[in-house]
C-alpha cells in the first residue's frame, strides 16, 4: 500500500504544470505558444524574463523535494521505515509526472529542475556538486541544454563517488538516461550549431 500511495501521489505532485499556471496567472502568457513551447524554467526565462524563470525553476525543484517527502510521510503514516527504493520511487514519479503530465495530455517539461529536487533529498552533497557543474557550464557556454545533459550524466558518478548504495547509482543512471532522451532535439541542435543560448539578463 505504501508503494502504491507513493507512486500515485508522487506522480500527481509532479504533474502540476507550474510553468503553465504561473505563466497564465501572473504574466497572462501560455508558454506552450512561445519559444521552445516548453513550460519549463528555461523557456520561461527567455519568454517572460528572469523572475519567471527563477520562480518556475524553484517551484519545479520543490516538486522533486515533495515527491521524496511523500515516501517519508506515507512510511510514517504506515509506521514503517522508508526504504531507499520507496524514496527513489517517490522521486522518479515526480519526474515522470512533470515530464508526462496528465494535465497536459502527457506532455511537460524535461525534468531537470524536478530531478535536482529529488537528488537534493536523496544525495544532498551530490546535488550541490551537480548544480555547481551545471552553473559553470551555463556560465561559460550559455547553453542550458548542454549543462543539463552533462550535469545529469554526472549524477550516477556522483552517487558512486559519495559512496551511495547501488539503488542510488541505478537511479542516477535511469535519471540521466531520461534527461538525455528528453533533450534529444537539443542535442541535434547543438551538433548543428543552431541551439539557442541563454541571455543572463533576461527581460
| pLDDT, average across residues 143-163 | 96
Give tens-digit pLDDT for 45-95. 989 999 999 999 999 999 999 999 999 999 998 888 889 999 999 999 999
CA-wise closest residue to 152 among 191, 182, 187, 112? 112
Could you tell me which residues are beta bridge partners of residue 107? 101
Q: How far apart are CA 53 and CA 71, in angstroms?
A: 28
What are the angstrom distances between the C-alpha of 20 and each of 40, 66, 105, 194? 9, 19, 13, 26
pTM attached to this predicted model: 0.93
Give me the residue label for grid cell 523535494.
Answer: 65
Give tens-digit pLDDT for 165-174. 999 999 999 9
Can you give 44-93 as a three-state secondary structure string? HHHHHCHHHHHHHHHHHHHHHHHHHHHHHHHHHHCCCCCCHHHHHHHHHH
In the predicted structure, residue 203 carries a pLDDT above the cut 60: no
In the predicted structure, residue 202 carries a pLDDT above the cut 60: no
pLDDT category at 201 given cuts 50, 70, 90 is low
Domain residue extents for the chain: 2-192
pLDDT of residue 36: 84
pLDDT of residue 199: 82
Give tens-digit pLDDT for 109-140. 999 999 999 999 999 999 999 999 999 999 99
Give tens-digit pLDDT for 25-44. 999 999 999 988 889 999 99
Residue 53: all three cell numbers together: 524563470
Amino acid at each position: 500500500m505504501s508503494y502504491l500511495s507513493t507512486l500515485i501521489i508522487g506522480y500527481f505532485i509532479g504533474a502540476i504544470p507550474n510553468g503553465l499556471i504561473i505563466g497564465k496567472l501572473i504574466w497572462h502568457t501560455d508558454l506552450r505558444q512561445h519559444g521552445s513551447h516548453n513550460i519549463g524554467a528555461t523557456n520561461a526565462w527567455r519568454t517572460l524574463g528572469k523572475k519567471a524563470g527563477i520562480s518556475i525553476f524553484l517551484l519545479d525543484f520543490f516538486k522533486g523535494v515533495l515527491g521524496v517527502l511523500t515516501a517519508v510521510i506515507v512510511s510514517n503514516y504506515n509506521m514503517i521505515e522508508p526504504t531507499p527504493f520507496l524514496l527513489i520511487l517517490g522521486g522518479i514519479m515526480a519526474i515522470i509526472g512533470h515530464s508526462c503530465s496528465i494535465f497536459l495530455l502527457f506532455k511537460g517539461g524535461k525534468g531537470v529542475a524536478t530531478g535536482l529536487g529529488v537528488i537534493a533529498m536523496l544525495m544532498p552533497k551530490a546535488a550541490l556538486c551537480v548544480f555547481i557543474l551545471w552553473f559553470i557550464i551555463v556560465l561559460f557556454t550559455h547553453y542550458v541544454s548542454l549543462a543539463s545533459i552533462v550535469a545529469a550524466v554526472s549524477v550516477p558518478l556522483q552517487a558512486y563517488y559519495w559512496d551511495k548504495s547501488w539503488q542510488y547509482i541505478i537511479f542516477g543512471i535511469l535519471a540521466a538516461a531520461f534527461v538525455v532522451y528528453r533533450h534529444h532535439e537539443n542535442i541535434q541542435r547543438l551538433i548543428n550549431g543552431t541551439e539557442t543560448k541563454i541571455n543572463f539578463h533576461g527581460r
